[in-house]
Amino acid sequence: MNNNSMRAWIDTIILAFYAIVVGVVVGCASLGFLWVIHWLNALLLNTNDTGLYAQLEETSRLYLFLMPVIGAVVVSLIIKYGVAEQRNYGPADVIHAARLGKGNLSMRVGLVSASASIVSIGSGASVGRYGPVVHLGATLGVWLAQQLKFTQDRRRTLLACGVAGAISASFSAPLAGVVFAHEVVLGRFGSKSVMPIVIASVVATTIAEMYGNHGALFMLQEINVANTWEYFLFALVGAVGGGLAVFFMSMMYRANQLAQRLPVSTVMRALLGGSLLGVIIVIFPQTFGLGEQVIRDALMLELTAGVMLALVFAKLLATSVSFAAGFSGGVFGPALYLGTMMGMVIGLGVHEFTDAASSPAVYGVAGMGAVISRVIGAPIATILIIFELTGSYSLTTAVMVSVVVGGTVTRDFFNQSYFFHQLRERGIEPNESEARQSLRQMPVSKLMDKVPTVLTADMTLAMAHSKLIAHAIEVAYVVNKNNQLLGQVNIQKFLEINDEQLMAQPISHFLSEPPVILEADMNILETFPKLKNFVGVNIPVVTDDASKQFIGVIHESKLANAYLQALDKTQRDEH
């Protein structure tokens, strides 16, 4: 074994060790996050998770109303003084860090966001716990990489390890954790990243199971698809679920837009939103917090179809209001809730016509998969989560049909996922290749050269001719006294002029328009469409189109070299 091979083996062992560390830390953090939420519920409502909604029925209406009002104000203050950008963070920021942000996340922001999410859920906000845990897990992985001064690629790997650990610890689904980290966060599968991510995912699952977290939310009695013809109905569930997911995402977006346009302070917006949420909770206590017990009750047929249908609309409104009010949390939990209720309603409707159909719970799980996969943009991870938690091939095939149909039918509506929508609202394109991302992040000024010879408009043709020959320049750029680019001249045209009177004319009479002009605020990726039909050596650069202040040139060879380097880096990262 040569030195390079030995060094590669040592690096692999070191990375595997740190993946174990991330798995342990993130597994414990995920359990701790859930434990604090349960502790807060017990403190505020004097009950445990299984008795939460029964206790809410007995709780004072005024107390129920005030909980989200006070919680909204507390969360707004946490975000205002704890986060510089004064906004909530979540999986969209993890995707940005993994694909565009060089694998960097702030530990302070991670802890503040987790705290805000705990207060949000504990005070009744209709948000999920999985998004905050994913962000926290990624932050912990990045923090370790930063302390070890790892390279950008290794930071991204430990970030993905944290994501996989968070998902696997939450669901006891290690395979789903691995796929989610690649499918949603990294956006690709790379041979270098698979091994550490698998290790972190398995370790986090082991930690979760050691402390009794076995993904009990989906633990159902043995249920299977009873008839082949029901797959047509599962396709229908998928189409309805996809439509519900699109409506859900659109509703959250519109509610946020409306809240941002209100001419009030952040605290006042929180008060208004918290008050509206309080009214919803008083009318529909089942929308309080995570709603996991309500989902269990629905799957066990303890709720009527009418109640579940009403809860779909109530949860849509409660979740939209929660995010508009500034509460912090995820969208996975509400999507799971909506999908289950919708699927159960369809399943119960089918049973009105025939008793030969599968259990309504099959339809509930199929609906759950359809809505979740569309909201988070992870169809494969969604299918694997349900398979790992049910162990039923038959049930998984029903989910596969609903997920595929739901995604296909609604593909052209809204966005690939709510996370992608959030990023695109910030002007970030998450689906670009790494080479394009690298070129998009590179400013024109980085490749620009200063021009040693510039002609001025008051020069005569003879003066310009002498200067070009002296400096061996084929094409020169002409500016006015304010350094504004007026045009260019070509020495080949000068050689064709023998008339002395013409040679005494100002050069401004002989200018031609440069075929391409670049602006300083462009990135390299933006330049390529402009160069489609360009033939030449260099391209002039101005500050902006309005002022046309001439500041330099870019040689075509440098643009080609930047493109080749970006491709080469992408290939190295993928192996």
Question: Are residues 465 and 413 both part of a single domain?
Answer: no
Say what the pTM is.
0.81
Q: Among the three residues 431, 464, 479, which one is the final residue of a domain in this structure?
A: 431
Bridge-partner residues for 479, per DSSP?
456, 485
Q: Which residues pair with 118 in a beta bridge?
A: none
Q: Specify which residues 420 forms β-bridges with.
A: none
Same domain, 151 and 223: yes
Q: Which two tokens stand for residue 110?
A: 């991670």
Q: Is 376 in contact with 334 (CB distance < 8 Å)? A: no
Q: How many domains does the chain have?
A: 2
| Rounded Cα distance, 184 and 402, in Å | 19
Q: What pLDDT sits at residue 253?
A: 93
Q: Are residues 426 and 480 in the same domain?
A: no
Query: Percent of the chain having pLDDT more than 90?
Result: 40
CB 358, CB 365: distance < 8 Å: no
The CATH number assigned to the domain holding 234 equals 1.10.3080.10
Q: What are the backbone angles phi and psi of residue 114, rounded to the nearest 5°?
A: -65, -40
pLDDT given at position 575:
46
On whether both 52 and 176 belong to a single domain, the answer is: yes
Handedness of CA 307, 313, 319, 324 (dihedral sign): negative
Largest CA distance in the chain: 103
Residues 246 and 342 in one domain: yes
Does one domain contain both 515 and 391?
Answer: no
Residue 344, Cα to own-chain centre: how many angstroms? 29
Residue whose structure tokens are 């004072």: 60
Q: pLDDT for 18-68, tens place per residue?
A: 999 999 999 999 999 989 988 888 888 877 656 677 788 888 899 999 999
∠ Cα 198 199 204 (to 5°): 100
CATH number of 508's domain: 3.10.580.10
pLDDT at 574: 47
Distances (CA, A) of 112 to 207, 285, 515: 24, 28, 52
At 443, give phi and psi (nearest 5°). Answer: -75, 155
The predicted structure's pLDDT at residue 325:
93
**Amino acid 140: pLDDT:** 95
Residues 452 and 400 in one domain: no
Same domain, 422 and 496: no
Residues 390 and 446 in one domain: no
Domain that holds residue 222: 3-431
Residue with token string 């309500």: 294
Give the chain's residues under pLDDT 50.
Answer: 216, 574-575
Chain centre distance of CA 460:
58
Q: How far apart are CA 518 and CA 550, in angstroms?
A: 10
Tens of pLDDT, residues 293-302: 899 889 888 9
Is residue 138 located within the same domain as residue 286? Answer: yes
